[in-house]
Structure 1
Amino acid sequence: MQIFLDCANSLCVPLAQEKTEGPCEVIIFLGLEIDTVQMVVRIPQSKVEEVIKKIEDLIGEQKTTLREMQSLIGYLNFCCRAIAVGRPFCRRLINSICGLTMPHHHLRISKGVRLDLAMWLKFFKAFNGISVFHDRYWLSNVDMNLYTDSAGGPNLGFGIYFQGQWSYAPWPADWHSADITKDITALELFPILVSLHIWGSQFQNKKIKFNCDNMAVVHIINTMTSRSDNVMCILRLLTLACLDNNTLIRAQLVEGSKNLICDALSRLQLNRFRDLAPEAELEPCPFPTHLWNVFNPEQSNC
């Protein structure tokens, strides 16, 4: 700091002394308290309470004004400085105000916007205003020994393997009747959501990069958005799980990647699975059955 001050003085660069602080281990920057000892960022609790009130005021309305929506977006963008994983879920709110110019102009609160607001509200009501720094390096799912796979079709399902622990399940009958099992993108995302619900506490503060041979899935994970309503239902719960565990996820395209262990699980071939992973635990981890309601937000209980 002293070297910088001496340099600025020699160059006759004026500095605002009232805005000069440090060096210190805890500093207020852009309204956030950054603590390099405990490695956390703290959002003022008053801001958290204000954003909760703004969401509650809007979520039950059919319409709102440009001024009110801009105010909410401003609060969410402020919070996303500390909780970056939620930033993509400000996008639909921002898109909703495109083309409006006057503060008193009204806009309709669509079903998609309402669902995004419900996700934010659930998170903020359990959020204590403290965000822990993420681990420094990205870990691939290979580094973590975490694999997922899905197979669409009758008598098929999904499989997950994580460091000897595993889980699997066949697709429910109502998914087949609703043609959900024909949407391979949604099916590929679903076991990632399940893994965060089963082992999320072990993924806390980590940055995980999934290797995937499906370009559409890679794009959706990296942007956290999709035109598909079914995929957005999964992404909302996926984002909420990431928010709860302060986990960042990304994906990279890997052509022709082999995933034999989870391929066996997704095809319900347990004998083949045992041959491929003899070190796996004897019993699967319980599947959180409420996730079968992921496409019915009112019933998902997530």
Structure 2
Amino acid sequence: MAQNILINDLPLEIFIKILKEVDGVSLGKCRRVCKKWRDGIDGSDQIWHEVCRKEFKHSSEIAKRKAGNICRWYHIYKNLKMWIDITTFDKKVREFYKFSLHDKSHALDVDYGVLPLKDAKGVVFYDMSNLKYIPVAISETNCCKVTNNDHVSVILTKTGLYVQKCVDSNGVTEGFFKAENFVLSGEVIYFHNGTRAGELLLYRLSSQKKGPMSRPIFDTLAILPEGKFAVQLDVCERKNGPLIIASTFFEIILVEYDFFPHEQEPKCSFPVNKLTMYKRLLRLKDRLQSS
């Protein structure tokens, strides 16, 4: 005799497999069915990773790499979905950091939720989740790139590549390589040698007009203070919305958006994964000073 099985009676792994076939908007509706469904969906970030992969294949990977553990895939999806309406939201534009040296490359790339800033005395770091100073300053003026993840921290200088695994891990924990640039992917580093060297605008592919005489159409995201113009731009997604970093020759100016005000980051101590990263950066600082 056939027996009817209710969807709530399915094993969790089967339920998750079904939800992976659902688009993001429908998945959001499923969250509102009942507490059990919401807990199941929110407790499985792989569902939202799959949705991001299908709807924002490349941009979601870049956003997650820059945000690190600041955002789960759920927050990445929500933010990317809202970017189409970003010009309708209120924003806060403020000066964040002032430099003593005139340079066009003060702000290194945001990575793993960390903003590295380069000045005359070296590199300082800020946590993008709360914009707090990370108490690790590196007195290396030739620093070109800083990358972190849960496994390793890597610093590229003009002399080469410094690699630092977890300080308390077994086996080889550090290394140095001659390199001109690199990419960190999980536990693998790819590096190479011998290669060649006033308004914030949004360019939407969907808004462009076709035709030989058509001109690019831009939306204005923000207008910087009078006399200021950006020479570098970067974006980091946070739980409550994106944070745009505009670097001028002398300042860092932040443009903050609150897509989801209820998702504000609570004021709490640094989580374990960030403390581990800070230890690695401290070790790299010591190595650079002694080299």
Which structure has greater helix proportion? Answer: 1
Which structure has greater strand proportion? Answer: 2
Q: Shorter-chain-normalised TM-score: which range?
A: under 0.3
Give TM-score scaled by structure 2 length.
0.26
Give TM-score scaled by structure 1 length.
0.25
